[in-house]
Structure 1
Amino acid sequence: MQSKTPISDPTLLQLPLDTRTLTIGGLAIKIYGLGAHSASTPLTCIHLLHPRQQTHEYMTGIARSLLHTYGTQALICASFDSRNHGARTTSPLANESWKGGNATHAEDMFSVYHGTVEDLRMVVEYLGVYLRRVVRHFVVGVSLGGHAAYLALALPRVEGVVSVIGCPDFVRLMAARAEGCGVDVRGVFGGAGLGPIVGRLDPAAVGMVGLREVWRGKRLLALSGGADGLVPYACSQPFLDEVKKAVWRGELELDLEDIVYEGVRHECTSEMVREIVRWFAACFEDMDGGSLKSSLAL
């Protein structure tokens, strides 16, 4: 993963960005763009979830791209350090892969982004309380944050998510990664392993019947690199194809866009950020027309 912050246009780095920190439940939340809005304005918040081995600062460029594009919208962005990252780091080894010497890579990765989504659940619940106004909620996640974004789509008040180089099928992803490392994942998921937890939370494991209600009426944008060797699109495609079939048959009410960038490796490119910005234009248009579930934010 590249360390530089992804952004739609580098010239935006020269423009000012209003930032402040809000503490919710002991968690430091960086809020972008709040100063542009009056104290009573209902807001839309885009929550930004960063990659493994990065911090919330990685997502600043995406916040800039969104806020400077949609300056007339009542929009803010929010980000925080995922568990065991940034100021919350307790074990650097736990953020490494099997190749990096971490024998519990699968357990650590899933528990970190599951825990991060639980943190996000709390932020979504309390942000409007702290800001004293109605807030609607969307999520953008990259890599580890992209895996988490798939889980976040099931949160009751989240109306849509963007997953960038993330995967909705944890078992398939870990099996592919383990094959290249000589790791036997049967012990990871069998017996008293991760299997029951993943089966309860991971979209591919939950399946269409389980997702029908929690994803109903929501939006999903999946952006993948066609040459991504760390999170191959081949690990996401079977599930996403199943979702597309369920939507086409009328079994799942979901607005899904699935875009693969040929030749792109495991990175969030400027072109991907421009696609994120474009996608939100349709979200805002639907909100103005009242077709998204406004009751979710009440």
Structure 2
Amino acid sequence: MARFDYDPASFSKITYNIGGISVHVYNSDALIPYIEAFNKSSVHVDEIPINVNYLLHGRTRTYKDSEAIAYNILRQVEEKREHKDAVPLICVAFDLRNHGERTIDASKNDDWLRGNQTHAVDMLSTIMGNVQDLKVLIDFLPDYLNLESYLTNEFKSKNQHYNIKHRNIISGYSLGAHTVFRFANEYPDLVYAINPVIGCVDLSSLLINRLKQNDVSSTDYDKRWFYYSYDELKLSPGQETAQYPEHFHKVLSKQDESVWENFAMNSIKMHASFGQEDKLVPHKLSSVWCDSYLNTNGDTEVNVYEGVGHDVPEKMVEDFTTWLVKYI
């Protein structure tokens, strides 16, 4: 995946240290005049919405990849919006665990083929750590933005029950997309929309098929491996020892079952993108789940791009922003 081109002077960037994480926020200066305008309003206000798009990069990448996409999203949304006084959009990027400035051991981001025997455990523990990091950022970013400080005492006295509502849109790419599915399943009330790109909802099947080197066209590849007991996996002694422990299978299977059966499809809008030729994270593993989403939520769009592998071409971002402007 090539890093997108962008103009760093086109939108503001400010960096906060939130819970020990460098958090980069783009276009936040657009929030100030928007919030201050409510001071002049004579209409009673219960809710002041703002749009926050968190971007989670892929494995072996850094926040700089997310930053490039963030600038493109902001530019495209600005160009595509019909009403220039619409609710502002800001973007947020940060290094995921064991990536960028947070790297402790880069080899733990490798897969089995590159010699990392604990690839499955490393990947899931990183994903769930990212879920918790994102929860911290969503909880505390409002304190650093401190938008309430731009409202006058007169406004506050007239609108005592007002709320500045963060409409959280979570975008993720590859590893980041895996995290998006997990986060939305854990904290559905915090999510307005999700934008998973070349990700997978069924990590058990992704990892077991990868470990067993099952062909995508085989009947084994169509199995929902999270419904199988550990014995039914028929792993070799070596695979059981380090690559796919029994306890790990129980933990991941429980998560996958929850994502498959209990995901809040009704309340969370989704724009998902996959590559038809993706061999690393095949769309096939998520297609049935996505079809169910399309049948459940009318604000959903799923695109599978012909001729695209495990990559994020510009068209994926362009289609996302075209969809996004309809809902923000």
Q: Scaled by the length of structure 1, what TM-score is found?
A: 0.82
Instruction: Point out where structure 1 has 5 or more consecutive residues left out of the alignment.
Output: 248-252, 285-298
**Is 2:133 the counterpart of 1:119?**
yes
Contact 2:204/2:253 (8 A) holds in 1 = no
Deviation at 1:63, TM superposition (A): 0.9
1:228-271 deviations in Å (ceiling 9; x for gaps): 111111122233234445x2xxxxx5743221001101100011
Please name the residue that 1:219 is paired with.
Answer: 269
Query: Does the CA contact (< 8 Å) of 1:224 and 1:233 recur in 2?
Result: yes
1:237 to 287, 305, 312: 287
Contact (CA 8 Å) 1:51, 1:143: kept in 2 or not? yes
Q: CA deviation at 1:149?
A: 1.1
Aligned in 2, Cα 1:186/1:168: closer, same or farther, shift over 3 Å? farther
Structure 2 residue 246 is the aligned partner of structure 1 residue 191: yes
2:10 aligned partner, one-letter code? P
- Equivalent of residue 3 in structure 2, options 5, 8, 19: 5
Q: Report the CA distance shift for 1:23/1:166 in structure 2 as closer, same or farther (over 3 A).
A: same
Q: Distance in 2 between matches of 1:227 and 1:137?
A: 30
Aligned to 1:90: 104
Amino acid at match of 2:137: V
CA contact (8 A) 1:21 1:31 kept: yes
* RMSD (CA atoms): 2.4
- Aligned pairs, number: 267
In structure 2, the residue matched to 1:283 is 327
Residue type at the aligned position of 1:30: H
Q: Alignment partner of 2:138: what SS?
A: helix
Hey, what does 2:212 align to over in structure 1? 179
Who wins on radius of gyration, i.e. which is larger?
A: 2
Q: Aligned pair 1:160/2:193, yes or no? A: yes
Q: Which residue of 1 is the match for residue 221 of structure 2?
A: none
Is the CA contact (8 Å cut-off) linking 2:294 and 2:301 kept in structure 1? no
Q: Identity across aligned pairs (percent)?
A: 29
Mapping for residues 1-298 of structure 1, pairs under 5 Å: 2=1, 4-6=2-4, 10=5, 12-13=6-7, 16-38=10-32, 41=35, 42-71=49-78, 72=84, 73-133=87-147, 134=164, 135-154=166-185, 155=187, 156-180=189-213, 191-192=246-247, 194-202=248-256, 205-207=257-259, 209-211=261-263, 214-244=264-294, 247=296, 255-284=299-328
Compared CA separation, residues 116 and 15, structure 1 to 2 (3 A)? same
SS at match of 1:198: helix
Q: Residues 161-184 of structure 1: CA distance to partner in whole angstroms, max 9, x if unpaired?
A: 101100101011112211339985
Equivalent residue of 1:230, what SS?
coil
2:26 counterpart letter in structure 1: Y
C-alpha separation in 1, matches of 2:33 and 2:19: 22
Residue identity matched to 2:258: V
Offset at 1:199? Answer: 3.3
| Aligned-partner Cα distance in 2 for 1:206–1:172 | 14
Alpha carbons of structure 1 residues 55 and 237: separation in structure 2 relative to 1, 3 Å: same
Q: What is the letter of the counterpart of residue 176 of structure 1?
A: N
Aligned equivalents of 1:270, 1:197: Cα separation in 2 = 36
**Which amino acid is 2:168 matched to?**
H
Distance in 1 separating the partners of 2:58 and 2:294:
26
1:207–1:62 CA distance, 2 compared to 1 (3 A): closer
Question: Structure 2, unaligned stretches of length 5 or more?
Answer: 36-48, 79-83, 148-163, 216-234
Change (3 A) 1:103 1:181: farther
